[in-house]
Every structure is written in C-alpha cells, then in structure tokens.
Amino acid sequence: QVQLVESGGGLVQPGGSLRLSCAASGTIFSSRFMDWYRRIPGQQREWVGSIGTGGSTNYADSVKGIFTITRDNAKNTVYLQISSLKTEDTDVYDCHVLYCGMNYWGKGTLVTVSS
C-alpha cells in the first residue's frame, strides 16, 4: 500500500520561506512522477508543480520562479521549497502520486502565512 506523509508546514510571516517534505512508502519511488497541490480546506485542489524521475520540473504559472520542487530518491522524499510567501499562499499542501492506475494523496501539511 502506498503512503504519502507530508511535513514541514507551519506559521510563517509574509516574505518568509518553508521547505515542505513528502515521504513516500510502498512504491518504487524513484520511478514515479510526483506532484504537489494546494487547497483551502473544503475547496478544490490547485496543482502547484511536478517533478519527474530524473528531476525535471514543471510549475503552475502562479508559482514559477518562486517555488522549487526537488527529490531525494535515496530517502524516498520529495520537497517543495516555498518562498516569498504571501497571505494568499495560506493553504494545505498535498503531495500526490499515480501508481498502478490509482491516485494517492497524503493528508497534507498546513501552511499559514500571517504577520
């Protein structure tokens, strides 16, 4: 069974940064594309970006040049560096993987941007 566990969220001031982590188990992590999404609780998820097996990345236009996704295959972990945070970046951040035709999500980690 695939499990994804996000961590690293918290309260940060506007302009600050955080590094979110998503640890994966139960899959051949290094062969999977991984995605980050974000959502206001109760609302639809918004795609943030993806990272391929070789480390290539794609980002939503709204975060391009500001957020950075990396991965460490030895640790089965994908990271989301979020910077220059604004209050509107307050969201729950989720990671996602498609594996054997099924979508898997973690429970998310809450980022609150507030002064």
Q: Which residues contact 62 (CB under 8 A, 6 or more apart)?
A: none
Query: For residue range 19-62, what is the model confidence (pLDDT) as tens digits?
Result: 999 999 877 777 889 999 999 877 889 999 999 998 999 999 99
Amino acid 63: pLDDT: 93
Which amino acid belongs to residue 90? T
The SS3 call for residue 52 is: coil
CB-CB contact of 21 with 7 (8 Å): yes
